[in-house]
Amino acid sequence: MAPRVREAWERQDVDAFVACFSADAVYHWGPFGSPLRGHDQIRDRTQAAVSAQSDIVFEHEPLAVTQDGRGICWWTVTYAVAASGRRLQDEGIFLVTLGDDGRCIEFREWWNEREID
């Protein structure tokens, strides 16, 4: 899943990103707040985030995968904020649960952010 997420994020292809998820997926966008549920909520939140970004570079490294379709992945992304030109770096962890079809049914993420030169 992570390579498809990388390609979609770097291309700002929201539809390709949403296609990584099952129709009833639950996406925990950070540790606080209500989870996103289903394609429409995931699409809306993702569109709002990536439309403010440019020059995106995403990297990842799988840390563990279980037999039951769960995985943990370290990730980092750098991008420019389109409105200000500031460069930011986010770094975090994804906890992913995949369904039988290989699409994500539950997605949790945690991250930190910093401004870079």
pLDDT tens for each residue of 53-67: 999 999 999 999 999
User: Which of 70, 78, 64 lies closest to 9 in space, CA to CA?
Assistant: 78
Read off the CATH number of the domain in which 105 is found.
3.10.450.50
In the chain, % of residues over pLDDT 90: 83
Secondary structure (DSSP) of the chain: -HHHHHHHHHHT-HHHHHTTEEEEEEEEESSSSPPEEHHHHHHHHHHHHHTTEEEEEEEEEEEEE-TTSEEEEEEEEEEEETTT--EEEEEEEEEEEE-TTSSEEEEEEEEEEEEE-
User: Residue type at 69?
Assistant: G
Its domain, for residue 28, covers: 2-116
Q: How many domains does the chain have?
A: 1
In the chain, % of residues over pLDDT 70: 97
pLDDT tens for each residue of 12-68: 999 999 999 999 999 999 889 899 999 999 999 999 999 999 999 999 999 999 999
